[in-house]
Chains A and B, each alone.
Chain A
Amino acid sequence: DGGITQSPKYLFRKEGQNVTLSCEQNLNHDAMYWYRQDPGQGLRLIYYSQIVNDFQKGDIAEGYSVSREKKESFPLTVTSAQKNPTAFYLCASSISGTDTQYFGPGTRLTVL
């Protein structure tokens, strides 16, 4: 997990609330990614950013938003529009879009 931090480790949200998950990396990587992990479904890409001030929707972007104002930071907001947000969220980074991705330790979000 070294070099990529995610906080908090566990997060509880009431229905109707927005929450923001933090992801920071000190690897000087240009590209950053957010994945959602559900049991038996592998990892699904939510958003990715290949450079500061630019990001693209992944396969399941609805109900999520991101920003990339700094190279080292890529926060993910889970909005109230996300109908089933309970999941394990993983952030990753890579030198570029075609390089090995390195993952953070994850945030487990539970909606109460």
Chain B
Amino acid sequence: AQSVAQPEDQVNVAEGNPLTVKCTYSVSGNPYLFWYVQYPNRGLQFLLKYITGDNLVKGSYGFEAEFNKSQTSFHLKKPSALVSDSALYFCALLGSRGASGTYKYIFGTGTRLKVLA
């Protein structure tokens, strides 16, 4: 079965501290993984993706994510959090739709990040 889990509904971090937003996945075969951010009443903005290659992926706004195959995780990180990073973060897995041969995104339920001044 293909799935994505974001185990934390909310993460609080002080401004200037490092942040981590967790994501784990389950898929047969090689995973394609994505992180998106959503600000209130807005669409999702693409942050970064892992397809293959280096396990540390760098993305927009200073974010990076670490792919760990043995732990089936793809955690989002930032060395120093900003108040403006406060938003809803989604992890997504590109999974197959089985016999149809097409693919679809499987989204996690989202993690609300709150950066405290």
Q: Which residues of A contact B (CB under 8 A)?
A: 1, 4, 6, 33, 40-43, 45, 48, 50, 56, 58, 88, 90, 92, 97-98, 100-106, 108
Residues of A contacting B94 with CB < 8 Å?
98
**Contact indicator B46/A102 (Cβ below 8 Å):** yes
Residues of B contacting A90 with CB < 8 Å?
43-44
CA distance A101 to B108 in the complex (A): 15
**Contact indicator B103/A105 (Cβ below 8 Å):** no
Q: Which residues of B contact A (CB under 8 A)?
A: 9, 32, 34, 36, 41-46, 49, 90, 94, 100, 102-105, 107-110
A90 nearest CB neighbor, chain B only: B43
Q: A41-B109, A98-B32, A98-B94 are in contact. List 14 more A-B contacts (CB 8 A).
A: A1-B43, A33-B105, A40-B110, A45-B104, A45-B105, A48-B104, A56-B102, A88-B41, A90-B44, A92-B44, A100-B49, A103-B36, A103-B44, A106-B41
CA distance A6 to B49 in the complex (A): 25
Chain A min CB distance to B86 (Å): 17
